[in-house]
């Protein structure tokens, strides 16, 4: 039995739902969207093609993502007292049917975004593009790779507290 190929609409709905989980601070549910072998990658330089041979702002597997999520939930995370809040403003996700980086049964979705992170009197805006590599596991879509390309990734950036 073959697994059904998700429609472009289903892939876009997944991207919107993921952003909503982040904005609502539902990090455990967000983390459950990832495959066991997934990576969250934020390149340091525009056009970066390799996270292992070059520095990145973030290149984290699911273990490191789990540690970040647990840290955000902790009562002794003083950098998050009070907690940061976020808001994603997403352009309509674009499914890249001919992406050479996609492997079999992987669906690549690229989304332009504006992301605002707010804590106390400070509000920080980030803009860029997110590329999701999505696979089907059972009946659900999962993230195998999430790449976040910030427009100003090579600038001096403050500490990112939450996930973009």
Mean pLDDT of 17-36: 96
Alpha carbon of residue 50 to chain centroid: 17
Question: What is the value of pTM for the model shown?
Answer: 0.90
CA distance linking residue 23 with residue 60, whole number of Å = 20
Whether 1 shows a pLDDT value over 60: the answer reads no
Whether 78 shows a pLDDT value over 60: the answer reads no
Report CA dihedral (55, 163, 93, 100) to the nearest 10 degrees: 30
What domains are there in the chain, each with its CATH number? 8-150 (3.10.450.50)
Mean pLDDT of 39-67: 93
Own/partner pairs for 30-35, CB < 8 Å, 24+ apart? 30/69, 30/163, 31/62, 31/65, 31/66, 31/69, 33/141, 33/142, 33/143, 34/62, 34/65, 34/142, 34/143, 34/144, 34/146, 35/62, 35/135, 35/137, 35/142, 35/143, 35/144
Residue 102 pLDDT grade (very low, low, confident, very high; cuts 50, 70, 90):
low
Whether 67 shows a pLDDT value over 80: the answer reads yes
Contact between 112 and 92 (Cβ < 8 Å): no
Whether 77 shows a pLDDT value over 90: the answer reads no
pLDDT single digits (tens) 108-142: 999 999 999 887 888 889 999 999 999 999 889 99
């Amino acid at each position: 039995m073959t697994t059904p190929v998700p429609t472009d609409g289903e892939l876009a709905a997944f991207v919107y739902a993921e952003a909503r989980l982040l904005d609502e601070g539902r990090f455990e549910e967000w983390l459950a969207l990832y495959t066991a072998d997934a990576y969250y990658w934020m390149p340091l330089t525009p056009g970066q093609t390799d996270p292992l041979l070059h520095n990145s702002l973030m290149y984290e597997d699911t273990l490191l993502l789990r540690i970040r999520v647990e840290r955000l939930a902790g009562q002794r995370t003083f950098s998050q007292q009070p907690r940061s809040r976020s808001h994603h403003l997403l352009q309509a996700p674009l499914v890249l049917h001919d992406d050479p980086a996609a492997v079999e049964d992987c669906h690549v979705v690229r989304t332009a975004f504006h992301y605002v992170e707010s804590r106390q009197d400070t509000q920080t805006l980030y803009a860029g593009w997110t590329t999701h590599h999505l696979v089907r596991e059972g009946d659900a879509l999962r993230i195998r790779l999430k790449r976040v390309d910030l427009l100003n990734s090579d600038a001096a950036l403050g500490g990112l507290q939450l996930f973009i």
